[in-house]
Amino acid sequence: EAGVAQSPRYKIIEKRQSVAFWCNPISGHATLYWYQQILGQGPKLLIQFQNNGVVDDSQLPKDRFSAERLKGVDSTLKIQPAKLEDSAVYLCASSLWTVNTEAFFGQGTRLTVV
Amino acid sequence: AQTVTQSQPEMSVQEAETVTLSCTYDTSENNYYLFWYKQPPSRQMILVIRQEAYKQQNATENRFSVNFQKAAKSFSLKISDSQLGDTAMYFCAFTAYNDMRFGAGTRLTVKP
């Protein structure tokens, strides 16, 4: 089966610019996660969707970050405007349904803000 | 709040030997799940092993096994017969309901 697809793989932008990341989860997976992984740290959950509803966005900086999951499938994560500290790898993951099932990760998008 | 701590930023092991990676966590929940994920340089996170807190038996997956000590809130990963392909970052993760929290990771290098 196809894995979690993310694009782009790499992105370099200047501070105060906008950027968007795209994620296509594994077919049939109801749960979709966006994680931020700063260099040298573990992934931090930004937002979790169950189908097209938000389950947890408590750690999403809502003044600049937004995410949506249209029709409960693909998802986009947007940063507007970007700050230097947003430089990180953004990982998308999906799981079949419940919390105890395996989360499958994409290869991530490495964002560099200069 | 749940926290996950990995106290070993880096470790190395000779090929074919055994290495143990440490993880501790803090939670007030009784039912939860613990995971070890591997992240090679390609950045893709891969599940290595999973442990349900209600199970007393330690999980094993081929060369990978865990030592789960619920009372001590400890969850270590043992890699036997280490292979060069095991070189990667290893993350311990915890989830009780929805929020999967990760530790800071341990960088493991397998030396030939």
Low-confidence ranges of chain B (pLDDT < 70): 1, 98
Chain A residue numbers with beta carbons less than 8 Å from the beta carbon of B91 are 42-43
* A41 chain-B contacts, CB cut-off 8 A: 104-105
Report d(CA B77, CA B91) in Å as an integer: 10
| CA B44 distance to own-chain centroid | 16
- Report chain A's mean pLDDT, rounded to a whole number: 92
| pLDDT band at residue A3 using 50, 70 and 90 as cut-offs | very high
Say yes or no to pLDDT of A99 above 70: no
Measured in angstroms, the CA of B109 and the nearest CA of chain A are apart by 15
User: CB–CB of A94/A33 below 8 Å?
Assistant: yes
Q: Which two tokens stand for residue B97?
A: 């309901």
How close A50 gets to chain B, by Cα (Å)? Answer: 10
| Chain A residue numbers touching B46 (CB-CB < 8 A) | 105
Percent of the residues in chain A that have a pLDDT greater than 90, as a whole number: 76
Are the beta carbons of A41 and B104 separated by less than 8 Å? yes
CB contact under 8 A, B98 and A91: no
Q: How confident is the model at residue A98 (pLDDT cuts 50, 70, 90)?
A: low
Arithmetic mean of pLDDT, A10-19? 97
* Averaged confidence pLDDT in chain B: 93
| Cis-peptide, bond into residue A8, ω within 30° of zero | yes
| Strand partners for A53 | A50
Interface touch A106/B44, C-beta < 8 Å: yes
Q: What pLDDT, on the 0 to 100 scale, is given for residue B16?
A: 97
Residues B76 and B92: their CA atoms lie apart, in Å, by 9
Residue type, B4: V
| Position A100 confidence tier, pLDDT thresholds 50, 70, 90 | low
Judging contacts by C-beta atoms under 8 Å, the chain A residues touching residue B98 are 48, 55-56, 99
pLDDT of A101 > 80? The answer is no
Q: B112: cis peptide before it, omega within 30°?
A: no
User: Is A45 close to B45, i.e. CB distance below 8 A?
Assistant: no
CB of B31 within 8 Å of a chain A CB? The answer is no
β-bridge partners, A54: A49
Average pLDDT over residues A99-105: 79
Neighbouring C-beta atoms of residue A113, cutoff 10 Å: 20
Query: Which pLDDT score, from 0 to 100, does residue A18 have?
Result: 97
On the CB side of A76, how many CA atoms lie within 13 Å of its CA? 8
Q: Hey, are the CB atoms on B42 and A107 less than 8 Å from each other?
A: yes
Whether the Cβ atoms of residue A45 and residue B101 lie closer than 8 Å to each other: yes
Q: What is the pLDDT of residues A41-82, one digit of tens each?
A: 899 999 999 988 998 899 999 999 999 998 889 999 999 999
Closest chain A residue by Cα to residue B44: A107
